[in-house]
Amino acid sequence: MNKKDLPIGIFDSGAGGLTVLKEIKKILPSEDIVYLGDTAHLPYGAKSKSTIIKLSISNILFLLEKKVKLIIVACNSTSSVALPLIKNFFGVPILGVVEAGVEAVLDRKAKRIGIIGTSATIGSMSYQNLIKKRRPKAKIIAASCPLFVPLVEEGWVDSSVTELVAKTYLKGFKGKVDLLILGCTHYPLLKKVISKVLDKTELIDSAEEVATKTRDILKKSNLLKSKKRGKISFFLTDNSPVFPKLAELVLKRKFKPTVVSNI
């Protein structure tokens, strides 16, 4: 098989990574995609570094068995905590959402930068350190917003409860940041509510950014598949009632995932 025709692998702790898959499909419609959601071990955002590393390695090995040409780590918690330590050991390019999000920030002039994510992402200082390294004078405000993930998984993306939670979490950002990084797979689904609360703040969607970066890397390595519409295969490590809900919300389609064991 021509290497160009091999699929792209995407993994996430669960269904949240569908926001990344959606962006990949938008700009690379011909690519085949293998998506793995580690629903047996969700959520990653509250787990320790060593657990996230172990689970990430299992996910990567699973995708390598599917002969993927490139792996996208859709999960911000994994991209923050595990990826810098393990990404060079598997013989295929592995891209995370954090670096892509930071590059998008650096493309803009803003000096007052907000970051929101899970406790693992914010606690790792991944976004903060990468931005500070490249723009030392940047003023950064970061906060974890743990309730956002369950609210999205409940489908409450546009409810008054979610707006109240957003107002509470984002109080410290109002008038103090020019842009806000949505540093979690689930947060792009809350763009409407977040924009309502922080009306003059540009929202940076790491999912969109990693999609553009993927296209650039595949193009540069002459690995873009250009013919036919690509197909998507979904694998989960446990049954998940959330997956069909989010698949409909994000992709506007129903999918039938295959349940597998990744360890």
- The CA distances from residue 42 to 32, 39, 72, 77, 101, in Å, are 25, 5, 18, 11, 23
Which of 18, 21, 34, 44 is the binder for ligand DGL (CB under 6 A)? 44
209 near ligand DGL (CB under 6 A)? no
Q: Which is nearer to ligand DGL, 6 or 105 (CB)?
A: 105
**Contact call for residue 75 and ligand DGL (CB under 6 A):** yes
Least Å distance, CB 18 to ligand DGL, is: 10
- Measured distance CA(120)–CA(134) in Å, rounded: 22
CA 13 to chain centre: 10
Nearest-angstrom CA–CA distance, 179 and 69: 33
Site for ligand DGL in 94-153 (CB under 6 A): 118, 121, 149
Minimum CB distance to ligand DGL, residue 225 (Å): 26
75 is catalytic: yes
Q: Does 184 bind ligand DGL (CB under 6 A)?
A: yes
* Residue tagged 């842009």 (tokens): 179
- 80 or 201: whose CB is closer to ligand DGL? 80
Helices (H), the chain: 18-27, 49-65, 76-81, 83-86, 97-106, 119-124, 126-134, 148-153, 160-170, 191-197, 206-220, 242-251
As to burial, measured by CB atoms within 10 angstroms (0-12 exposed, 13-18 middle, 19+ buried), residue 127 is buried
Per CB under 6 A, does 42 bind ligand DGL? yes
Q: Is 19 in the site for ligand DGL (CB under 6 A)?
A: no
Q: Is 222 left (phi over 0), alpha (psi -120 to 50) or beta?
A: left
In the block, which residue shows the tokens 């990430």?
56
Site for ligand DGL (CB under 6 A): which residue of 9, 43, 96, 257?
A: 43
182 interacts with ligand DGL by CB under 6 A: no
Under rule CB under 6 A, how many of the chain's residues touch ligand DGL? 17
Taking CB under 6 A as the criterion, the residue among 9, 16, 101, 188 binding ligand DGL is 16
Tokens describing residue 87: 């990404």
Question: Which residues in this chain contact ligand DGL in the complex, by CB under 6 A?
Answer: 12-14, 16, 42-45, 75-77, 118, 121, 149, 184-186
Q: Which residues are catalytic, by number?
A: 75, 184
